[in-house]
């Protein structure tokens, strides 16, 4: 066998070894990603389940026929000059809350939602799920509802535990959303590679 032929065989052998090593690295990486993907899905299955269900419900809340989120009722005037002062409406809302629902309920306000186009004001409380809609001009009680959408949202982002334990600055919510956000990112990357990796390996094999 001539020296040139021997050299060519050696070069081809080296190329073959490099390609085999590359395939082994890709296969090893694929196994690692598969393990990470499986472990992430198994460890956080219940949390992904709750996020999916609550996210679906929140997406449909305005189309639930008033079950998840009550419709906005119409007041008598959309002109702000005709409305009662906010502090007067707040006092009326608190009176309606204590008289029509329970005198034991907290009157601490979480937020006041002014719907000028509806001539209505929503009072949403911090320590329970009751909400009231008042006519902005007359102060008449338009509707009382349980805000299940807030409960679903609190479950969705983990803040329900902050509310229950009384944490100072939503630490549980921040930790929970960080963990779930990173987990979803890892799940997406590993899932993509589990789909793309075998295709890439088959393409490399066919090229050889």
Query: Domain locations in the chain?
Result: 70-146
The string over 21-45, giving b where at least 16 C-beta atoms fall within 10 Å of a residue's C-beta and e elsewhere, is eeeeebeeebeebeebbeebeeebe
171-207 and 148-157 helices, crossing angle to 10°: 60
Instruction: Report the pLDDT value the prediction gives residue 191, as an integer from 0 to 100.
Output: 83
- The alpha helices in 44-147, defined as continuous H runs, are 45-59, 86-100
Q: What is the mean pLDDT of each run of 10 residues along the chain (208 residues)?
A: 53 57 71 81 86 93 87 94 96 95 94 95 93 96 93 92 85 92 88 77 64
Distance, in Å, from the CA atom of 162 to the CA atom of 202, rounded to the nearest integer, reads 50
Give whole-number Cα distances, 94 to 84, 119, 134, in Å: 15, 19, 11
3-state class of 142 per DSSP? strand
Helices and strands, number each (H, E), in the chain: 6, 4
Q: What is the largest CA-CA distance in the chain?
A: 106
Instruction: Report the pLDDT value the prediction gives residue 3, as an integer from 0 to 100.
Output: 47
DSSP secondary-structure letter at 169?
S
Is the distance from CB of 119 to CB of 136 less than 8 angstroms?
A: yes
Is the distance from CB of 33 to CB of 194 less than 8 angstroms?
A: yes
Distance, in Å, from the CA atom of 31 to the CA atom of 182, rounded to the nearest integer, reads 21
Distance, in Å, from the CA atom of 128 to the CA atom of 104, rounded to the nearest integer, reads 11
């Amino acid at each position: 066998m001539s020296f040139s032929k021997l050299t060519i065989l050696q070069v081809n052998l080296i190329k073959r070894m490099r390609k085999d090593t590359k395939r082994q690295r890709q296969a090893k990486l694929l196994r690692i990603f598969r393990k990470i993907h499986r472990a992430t899905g198994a460890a956080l299955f219940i949390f992904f389940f709750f996020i999916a269900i609550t996210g679906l419900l929140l997406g449909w809340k305005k189309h639930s026929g008033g079950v998840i989120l009550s419709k906005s009722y119409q007041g008598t005037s959309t002109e702000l000059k005709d409305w009662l002062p906010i502090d007067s409406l707040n006092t009326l809302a608190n009176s309606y809350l204590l008289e029509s629902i329970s005198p034991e309920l907290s009157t601490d306000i979480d937020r006041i939602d002014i719907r000028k186009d509806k001539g209505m004001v929503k009072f949403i409380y911090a320590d329970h799920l009751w909400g009231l809609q008042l006519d902005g001009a007359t102060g008449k009680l338009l509707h009382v509802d349980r805000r299940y959408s807030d409960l679903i949202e609190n479950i969705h982002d983990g803040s329900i535990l902050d509310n229950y334990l009384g944490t100072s600055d939503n630490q549980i919510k921040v930790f929970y959303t960080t963990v779930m956000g990173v987990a979803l990112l890892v799940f997406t990357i590993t899932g993509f590679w589990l789909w793309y990796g075998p295709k890439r390996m088959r393409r490399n094999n066919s090229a050889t």
